[in-house]
Structure 1
Amino acid sequence: MVFVEMSKRKYTKGLRADQQHQTHLKIVEAAIALHAEVGPLQTTISAIADRAGVQRLTIYRHFPEEHELLDVSLARWFDLNPPPDPQEWRASVAPVDWGIAILSMLYQYYSETAQMWAQYDRDRGCIAVLDGKMAKFDGYLEMLAIDVLVHQPGARQKAKLCQAVARHALQFSTWQSLSQTGLDTVEMAALMDDWLHKCPLS
């Protein structure tokens, strides 16, 4: 009889933990959906509660500090939508083609995640947690800026104008602007890669 009661208690605790996890996930997914629709800055706890089908108090139980929910939501979104892995070109693409390969992969990534990137890019200056996460992505782009120039002669790699073009080519805002002209991903990447090859040294 004691064994049965212990088993029931373990089952109940396990069920409760699973329900808590599901609620936690629903809240995070609701936050992510709203971030994509209206942006993190305009996303309220009330709106998240409505979307997740829970009470506001439930959200505060799971995330006592509001920045915790944003932090977890950002981490979840980036886990589900990682940018191109440098190994994709470093392991299988000749260095002379790194520029076009990187731009093609990154622009395809921006194309697939544009709705959220537009919101993040707009709101980052107003939200410290978001800006911190975006700063890490800025560091990733700095690494890519080195890789896109790796096949260029040394003088071109070090030239400030060429470095500026490389950084500009990798920005979401650059992709966003080019996408409005009707160019497809391959055409955009080819255009910017050509610019990298022809930018003046001074």
Structure 2
Amino acid sequence: MYDESIVLRRAGVNGLTEHIRSPKQRAYRKVKRAEGEQATRARIVDAAEALHAEVGPARATISAIAERAEVTRATVYRHFPDDESLFLACSQQWLSRQRLPDPRGWDAHDDPFAVLHTGLTDIYRYFRDGEPMLSSVLRDAAVLPARLTEDRLASEREWQARLTRALPGRRRRTVQAAVAHATSFGTWRSLCVDLGLSNRAAVDLMVAMIAAASSRGQHASRVG
């Protein structure tokens, strides 16, 4: 027999249960939404990183990044309102995946030319590992945020300071120029990509060049 009071009581219990559960459900939905947003952001950064290495930052348009990430342009702009924020996220992710040169490990030798050899070997290993991205980024350096260029130059200055500080004739401009030339990605690319040298052969060549510059510096000091 139909009893309206029973139905109303059951509805009240169910409504109360729904009321009790709804905060948890809302929290769960928020978590899932946040996870979805994070996954979307990660796909955008992955797409940008891949395109920067393949075609370079100058030609990695927002439309191309959106297509690779399988999102709309509006979605890209929602996560990254300008090119700089996207470039910085892409750069940070790429660098986090690299084994960067570690100047702290170069000083295990007393011989400054052994330090030089160890340091250049470390730098050239990094250049070879990251060649596609480094080539694209340096080719399109004009479109990159100034902060990225400044960070790269600061790293290069640190490498050069570590490699020159114990060299004979280190204060001479020719010695400093030789070390700066040896630590340049453009120098490595010319020797190892364009001319086909191995990393070891390129390191030996650059160490010999710097040793010659240092020797001339010592000779000039004695004559003076």
TM-score (norm 2): 0.83
Cα 1:93–1:137 shift into 2, 3 Å: farther
User: What are the within-5 Å matches in structure 2 for residues 62-73 of structure 1?
Assistant: 62-73=79-90
Paired residue for 2:136, among 116, 119, 123? 119
Residue 14 of structure 1 and its aligned partner are, at CA, apart by 0.4
Look up the match of 1:80: 97
2:174 to 152, 161, 164: 161
Counterpart position of 2:154:
139
Distance in 2 separating the partners of 1:121 and 1:65:
21
- What RMSD over aligned residues (CA atoms) do the two structures have, in Å? 1.6
Contact 1:95 1:150 in 2 (8 A): no
Q: 1:151 is matched with which residue: 160, 166, 175?
A: 166
Shift of 1:176: 0.3
- Aligned pairs (5 A) from 1:168-187: 168-179=181-192, 180-187=194-201
1:1-202 correspondence runs (5 A): 1=17, 2-90=19-107, 92-96=108-112, 97-124=114-141, 126-129=142-145, 131-153=146-168, 156-179=169-192, 180-199=194-213, 200-201=216-217
Change (3 A) 1:42 1:17: same
* Contact kept in structure 1, 2:84 and 2:144, CA below 8 Å: no
Please state whether the residue corresponding to 2:23 is helix, strand or coil: helix
Distance 1:99 1:166 in 2: 9
Contact kept, 8 Å, 2:106 with 2:115, in 1: the verdict is yes
Do 1:108 and 1:185's aligned partners in 2 also have CA atoms closer than 8 Å? yes
Secondary structure of the residue that 1:64 maps to in structure 2? coil
Contact conserved, 2:102 with 2:122, CA < 8 A, in 1? Answer: no
Aligned residues: 197
The alpha carbon displacement at 1:146 in A equals 1.9
Cα distance in 1 between the residues matched to 2:82 and 2:154: 27
- Report the TM-score, using the length of structure 1 for normalisation: 0.91
Contact 1:99 1:148 in 2 (8 A): yes
Comparing 56-65 with 66-75, greater Cα deviation is found at 66-75
| Preserved contact between residue 110 and residue 117 of structure 1 (Cα < 8 Å) | yes
Cα deviation for residue 95 of structure 1 reads 5.0
Larger Rg: 2
In the TM superposition, what is the alpha-carbon distance from 1:38 to its structure 2 partner?
A: 0.6
Give deviations 1:34-61, integer Å, cap 9, x for gaps.
Answer: 0001100111011001100111111111
Distance in 2 of aligned mates of 1:170 and 1:33: 26
Hey, what's the Cα distance between the residues in 2 that align with 1:164 and 1:105? 19
Q: 1:50 and 1:152 mapped to 2: Cα distance?
A: 52
- What is the alpha-carbon distance in structure 2 between the residues aligned to residue 75 and residue 107 of structure 1? 21
**1:128 offset after TM fit, Å?**
4.5
